[in-house]
Amino acid sequence: MTEQNPLLDFSGLPRFDAIKAEHVTPAIDTLLAQSRAVVSQLEAPQAQVSWDNFVAPLEQATELLGRAWGIVSHLNNVVDTPELRATYNENQPKVTEFWTALGQNEVLFAKYKALRASAEFATLSPARQRIIDNAVRDFRMGGAELPAEQKERYAEIQEQHAAVSTRFSENVLDATNDFKLLVADEADLAGVPADVKAAARAAAEKEGKAGYEFSLHFPSYFPLLQFADKRELREAIYRANATKASDQAEGFSKKDDWDNTANIVTLLKLRDEEAKLLGYRNFAEVSLVPKMAQSPEQVISFLEDLAQRARPYAQQDLDELKQFAREELGLDELKAWDIPYASEKLQERRYAFSAQEVKQYFPEPKVVDGLFRLIQRLFNVDIKTDSAPVWHPDVRFFRIERAGKLIGQFYLDLYARAGKSGGAWMDDARGRRASGDKVQTPVAYLTCNFTEPAVVDGVAQPSLFTHDEVITLFHEFGHGLHHMLTVVDELGVSGIAGVEWDAVELPSQFMENFCWEWDVLEHMTAHATTGEPLPRALYDKMLAAKNFQSGLQTLRQVEFSLLDMHLHYDYDANGSQSVQAVIDGVRQQFALIIPPAFNRFQNSFGHIFAGGYAAGYYSYKWAEVLSADVYAAFEEAQAISPAATAETGKRYLEEILSVGGSRPALESFTAFRGREPSIDALLRHSGMAA
């Protein structure tokens, strides 16, 4: 007998100690074949379509494929090797093709509709009903109901859209990689921190050049804008960044080839055509179908209202900045390339503390322990060390229990290392499902890229976290709890599955708030050498700096969100008006800082032209309203008693966290708060309340 492929072993947790690159192709091929076999069985006519004879077997078959591929993707993200990358890239098209074909399978669509119309539907649980409704919706939005000719056109639109969108991001990437600003004389870099200069020096050396080389990658260009005393230098890098991939680009080795101006118009035209094929007035309506927001009009008025409220604070921020720049920096007219520089100087002046100083109070064990204790207290659970095969010795594994009963488990992979993708994220290794007394508990991956512990004289010192890193950790844990504390039995809507895009950041942003609570910080900090908790005076300074320029920042987010909405709502891509004119119009009405005429920010706005955020950029602010309002309920309870806080934690767990995608997010919110969301808490938390 040959040994079993560990990727095909679903009896327990993934066998990370045994899975190798060579297992991927045979496992994925086997699972694809099995899934296809189930799909073709289910395509056969059935006398009566039911949950048990149709949805359940389909879900069962595809779940294993999803789980195995999830393991491969995860490994590709956290321990990238040439062998793994090769097999990942080789298998990815097959997997994508399977899911795409499944989403357009007309026989399956007809069966979902038959089930939706059957007498059985009314007898199903709300979670099962929602899974069927979501499936019917997704088939419909995928063009499954269109007549043959239009269906063909729909497919062409998708194909062209994917190609142009890929081209859009390639242009941005190529232009970003191409531009180089070489500074010969170190004296010209006055004000720039030593580590930034060292990186620029190394970049030049690598290409056999003398001097300092800067690029348009964020860690290179932004510190130059922020710190360089020499104004011409700031202007040069600002101009390059604001014109990349556009008709205004200069100093790039290619211009027309990388210009995204026409690609933007093509994408907007294709989206408009898709919307009309599907029977909608515009693409904004299409984008909102699976979201929490009800209509483009509702989103636009939410944004305009927020703009109006933020404006006086933004005006005050700008006036202060202008005055400071004039009086202290000798900048009579504040140009676009002066804003990060002057802001940095003002911030340093006003809140005399450094991130470095704060960091000394956040050693990793203390932070992780503080986070776990908070979770245990809020949600009445226990977090315990557990063991499982892992992909790297730094990874730890834990279990969550309530009253001795296993609820979920998670991997914690905190440190940056070679072969690991940047950023922080939560992903699911396994979702919750249950039938009868058979329960599959959820398992999560929590991945960050913090600094690993330094080793001094052979002894590992605890890693020190910046406050931003602590916030990131809490944020990802918010997603993790959403996934793990679910009580929903149906895989398709348990945890974060099926949660609306514009509501999915609620639990994560909610957790961030605790990183600003004195009661939490006091017990979560210990100075690296003295062991003292965070001093109250330093905390007060951090709190004061928290909302620095929040008026201007809010207005900027609103400006991006509004131009995204208008381009997909009332802009006629086939008419004579230019995209630039729409953007100028939004800025005239809502922005306080009008960028220079050469600015082509939109030409690298990948979120909406090469990501999933078209007519969806507003989601960031939308979810923030929800998370701030939920947190306000905790603030109100804390002012009453510990018992009231405990009760609020229980209600949050029951009404929002544990119900996942089994009902609309608005229903969950209202059940928790006893009313619809209000913007007041967000304004107050951002220092913009009257």
DSSP one-letter code for 3: P
Distance of closest approach, residue 426 Cβ to Zn ion, in angstroms: 8
Distance of closest approach, residue 446 Cβ to Zn ion, in angstroms: 12
Give helix 642-652 / helix 619-638 axis angle, nearest 10°. Answer: 150
Distance of closest approach, residue 485 Cβ to Zn ion, in angstroms: 16
CA–chain centroid gap for 221, Å, is: 23
- Cβ atoms 387, 409 nearer than 8 A: no
- Report the alpha-carbon distance of residue 269 to residue 259 in Å, rounded: 17
- Cβ atoms 60, 490 nearer than 8 A: no
Closest CB to Zn ion among residues 28, 506: 506
- Report the alpha-carbon distance of residue 445 to residue 396 in Å, rounded: 10
Distance of closest approach, residue 425 Cβ to Zn ion, in angstroms: 8
Distance of closest approach, residue 471 Cβ to Zn ion, in angstroms: 11
Closest CB to Zn ion among residues 433, 483: 483
- Cβ atoms 13, 388 nearer than 8 A: yes
- Report the alpha-carbon distance of residue 630 to residue 506 in Å, rounded: 9
Q: Residues binding Zn ion: what is the number (CB under 5 A)?
A: 1
DSSP one-letter code for 4: P
Closest CB to Zn ion among residues 388, 414: 414
Closest CB to Zn ion among residues 242, 444: 444
- Cβ atoms 570, 282 nearer than 8 A: yes
How many CB atoms sit inside 10 A of residue 130's CB? 20
Closest CB to Zn ion among residues 512, 629: 512
Structure-block tokens of residue 189: 């870099």
Among 508, 549, 550, 668, binds Zn ion (CB under 5 A): 508
Distance of closest approach, residue 421 Cβ to Zn ion, in angstroms: 15
Structure-block tokens of residue 188: 């010209």
Q: Which stretch binds Zn ion (CB under 5 A): 81-89, 501-509, 529-537, 613-621?
A: 501-509
Active site residue 476: yes
Closest CB to Zn ion among residues 248, 472: 472
Distance of closest approach, residue 73 Cβ to Zn ion, in angstroms: 18
For residue 651, what are the contacts with CB-CB under 8 A and spacing of at least 6? Answer: 672
Q: Which stretch binds Zn ion (CB under 5 A): 165-173, 186-194, 508-516, 524-532?
A: 508-516
Residue corresponding to tokens 């005055």? 323
Residue 217: closest CA among 603, 604, 611:
604
Distance of closest approach, residue 505 Cβ to Zn ion, in angstroms: 5
Phi-psi region of 563 (alpha: psi -120 to 50; beta: other; left: phi over 0): alpha
DSSP one-letter code for 463: P
Distance of closest approach, residue 606 Cβ to Zn ion, in angstroms: 18
Contacts 24+ apart (CB under 8 A), 109-112: 109/136, 109/139, 109/144, 109/145, 111/42, 111/46, 111/49, 111/54, 112/136, 112/139
- Of the candidates 469, 476, 490, 655, the residue annotated as catalytic is 476
Burial 594-616 (b: 16+ CB within 10 A, else e): eeeeebbbbbbbbebbbeebbbb
Contacts of Zn ion in 454-483 (CB under 5 A):
none
Give the bridge partners for 427, in sequence order.
445
Closest CB to Zn ion among residues 220, 508: 508
Closest CB to Zn ion among residues 91, 513: 513
- Cβ atoms 407, 381 nearer than 8 A: yes
- Report the alpha-carbon distance of residue 177 to residue 518 in Å, rounded: 44
Is residue 599 part of the contact set for Zn ion (CB under 5 A)?
A: no
Residue 416: closest CA among 462, 391, 385, 450:
450
Closest CB to Zn ion among residues 272, 624: 624
- Report the alpha-carbon distance of residue 258 to residue 235 in Å, rounded: 22
Residue at shortest CB range from Zn ion: 508
How many CB atoms sit inside 10 A of residue 299's CB? 28
407 three-class SS = strand
Distance of closest approach, residue 541 Cβ to Zn ion, in angstroms: 27
- DSSP element (H, E) containing 445: strand 443-450
Strands 405-415 and 396-402: antiparallel
Distance of closest approach, residue 67 Cβ to Zn ion, in angstroms: 22
Q: Which stretch binds Zn ion (CB under 5 A): 283-291, 379-387, 507-515, 547-555?
A: 507-515
- Report the alpha-carbon distance of residue 587 to residue 506 in Å, rounded: 29
Residue corresponding to tokens 């098209």? 93
Residue 136 buriedness (CB in 10 A; 0-12 / 13-18 / 19+) = middle
Closest CB to Zn ion among residues 508, 648: 508
- Cβ atoms 488, 127 nearer than 8 A: yes
Closest CB to Zn ion among residues 225, 414: 414
Q: Which stretch binds Zn ion (CB under 5 A): 21-29, 83-91, 505-513, 641-649?
A: 505-513
Catalytic annotation, residues: 476
Residues that bind Zn ion (CB under 5 A): 508
